[in-house]
Structure 1
Amino acid sequence: MAVYFIRTFLPVENGIPFYGALAALWCIQPYSDTTKNNAFQRSVGTLTGAVYGLLFLLMFRRLDLVIPEFVYISASIFIIPVIYTTVVMNKRNASFFSCVVFLSIALTHSFDADPYLFVLNRVIDTFIGIIIGVAVNDFRLPVRTDKTTLYVSGIDDVLISPSSNYSKVELNRLIRSGVKFTVSTTRTPAELMSIMNGTELKLPVIVMDGAAIYDIKEKKYLEMTYLSNSVSEEAERIISECGLNCFVNTMLDTTLLIYYGEFRNPAEKNLFETHSNSAYRNYISSEYRRKDDNERILYITVLAEKIDIFLLERRLRQKLGVSARISFSDSEYEGFMYLKVFSPMASKENMMSKLKEHTGAEKAVTFGSIRGKYDVYINDGGGNATVKKLKKICRSHGNF
């Protein structure tokens, strides 16, 4: 509106601020790269529509046709080559803008005394809007953020916010500004990629409750802690004696293989059917498993009813003692729980020191929902609140 006001003092047509405002609003996006892409698409669409609009006006002036009904029908037919041109140029996203510009010229200004000047001003209005939109979108107040500290957050009850995209947008902005942010989770890389879809994680992540560090960009494991084969054999024997099935997660080179036996409950079967098609998981029947000294076992998972899990956990602790780390947690299946058997060295704390080496960070700040275990305690459901706390700490250079 300010630019339009200034143009009223110039010895040329003033233009219409409506078109500039539309272009500016369309260009404004959460990220600067999408803003520039939208600006480019808008520019291509505007020029294409303007060229066809000008040709349309010249044709009707040449033929001296002023019947409105004929103009409208002709414009409807003329829009076909407008759309097709964007397809030929492989600019399909610009098709909408081309059509809007063309129709605004053909249907609104075909009967003006000087319609050609409108075409020029229509293009000028749009480019003014594009320039302002990109400028507004790229403008940031000068804020210093901590780019040396490693910030590590949990996911469940800490970072996930299904009701809002705010956390993803703000996280991406922090990551793009150079903040060293990553996550630590009990989940596998496959589950992590699904949950964090849309978040531009760049640094390696701690997965499988500290059993491994996974590089998302390179799609490979950087660090792994294996369960002793003898301990694994004993754990599997106890699980079998309790009448339960288990999933044995092993590494073959850099590929995760999950061996499974005969399913003992509907939750196991549903878990398999839901996850077996994932590109990050490789489920293999136990009958094809080669049990030898070269087998590298990350951890063992059992999915069973709560009472069976508690009984199994007691037996495992009695038999395995400190030779294994046993954890259990609620599952997505009502009445069922997960139990996992890890190497005693497989922990998030041990992997944190290795993660700092991989990222070059000397200091780390952790976010979690267990009081006393993490540097920043999250007790309000996480999500947007966690990201706001992260922003505040980043801008105070790691002080909290």
Structure 2
Amino acid sequence: MNKVLAHLSKFRIGLRTTKSAVAVFFCLLMQFIFSVDPTHIYNAAIAAIVCMRENTEESFLFGVQRFIGTIIGGVMGLILISINIYIPYYEDGLYLILVPLFVMFCISICAFLNKKNAVIICCVVFLGIVLDTTLNRNNTLWYIIHRVFYTTIGIVIATLLNQYFFPHDEDDEHQKIEV
């Protein structure tokens, strides 16, 4: 028991953890005040957590990459959703080849634009669109618009929290401890 207590006494919640929790709180508060669909707030909260970095500049730069990846993945998903009804045998199994090929295109576009931190979210958004059976040509554009909008809100919340509520202090040793 003493070993467990000794180990737990070393555990400290880091500043990035605290900032992430506060960012999620603000996303949820926005949902509460404006009665926003929880699905959209999910995208904002995830973006805020992912974009929360040690300082404002890193949060902003990572947020821009996430924003770009969201747009690229959304556009690639929209393209495939829009043309798949014209592709013979798509629903009969051709998608098994086309979806991975489009993932390669998504990654290649991010690499070409030198946005390596955009690759993951680009592929996640793309797969979220093309594998969601509720999306089609008519509602995919709205999904992308909502996804980009709420991702942007999460990025803004993370960046503003870093800038105004938790400014980076080079001398603060506590910031370097993360959980």
Gap change, CA 1:24 and 1:65, over 3 Å in 2? farther
- Does residue 125 (structure 1) correspond to residue 150 (structure 2)? The answer is yes
Which structure would you say has the larger RCO, counting Cα contacts within 8 Å and 6 or more residues apart?
Answer: 2
Are the equivalent residues in 1 in contact too, given 2:76–2:126 (CA < 8 A)? yes
- Structure 2 distance, partners of 1:2, 1:99, is 29
**Deviation of 1:66 (Å):** 6.8
- Structure 2 distance, partners of 1:70, 1:19, is 30
User: Aligned residue for 1:3?
Assistant: 30
Are the equivalent residues in 2 in contact too, given 1:25–1:133 (CA < 8 A)? yes
Q: Which amino acid aligns with 2:47?
A: A
Are the equivalent residues in 2 in contact too, given 1:27–1:38 (CA < 8 A)? yes
- Structure 2 distance, partners of 1:18, 1:68, is 33
- Structure 2 distance, partners of 1:87, 1:138, is 29
Gap change, CA 1:59 and 1:130, over 3 Å in 2? same
User: Aligned residue for 1:186?
Assistant: none
Q: Secondary structure at the match of 2:165?
A: coil
User: Aligned residue for 2:80?
Assistant: 56
Larger-Rg structure: 1
**Deviation of 1:44 (Å):** 1.3
CA RMSD of aligned residues (A): 3.0
- Does residue 107 (structure 1) correspond to residue 141 (structure 2)? The answer is no
Q: Which amino acid aligns with 2:41?
A: P
Alignment of 1:1-400 (within 5 A): 1-8=28-35, 16-63=40-87, 67=91, 69-109=93-133, 111-112=135-136, 114-140=139-165, 172-173=170-171
- Structure 2 distance, partners of 1:38, 1:17, is 19
Alignment deviations for residues 144-166 of structure 1 (CA, whole Å, 9 cap, x no partner): xxxxxxxxxxxxxxxxxxxxxxx
Q: Secondary structure at the match of 2:61?
A: helix
Are the equivalent residues in 1 in contact too, given 2:59–2:155 (CA < 8 A)? no
**Deviation of 1:57 (Å):** 1.2
- Structure 2 distance, partners of 1:124, 1:118, is 10
Structure 1 or 2: larger strand share? Answer: 1
- Counting aligned pairs with the same residue, the percent is 25
- Structure 1 distance, partners of 2:146, 2:119, is 20
Structure 1 or 2: larger helix share? Answer: 2
**Deviation of 1:77 (Å):** 1.6
Tell me the matched-pair count: 146
- Structure 2 distance, partners of 1:114, 1:141, is 39
Are the equivalent residues in 1 in contact too, given 2:60–2:155 (CA < 8 A)? no
Are the equivalent residues in 2 in contact too, given 1:109–1:115 (CA < 8 A)? no
- Structure 2 distance, partners of 1:128, 1:84, is 27
- Structure 2 distance, partners of 1:71, 1:7, is 39
**Deviation of 1:58 (Å):** 1.0
Alignment deviations for residues 356-386 of structure 1 (CA, whole Å, 9 cap, x no partner): xxxxxxxxxxxxxxxxxxxxxxxxxxx87xx
Are the equivalent residues in 1 in contact too, given 2:52–2:158 (CA < 8 A)? yes
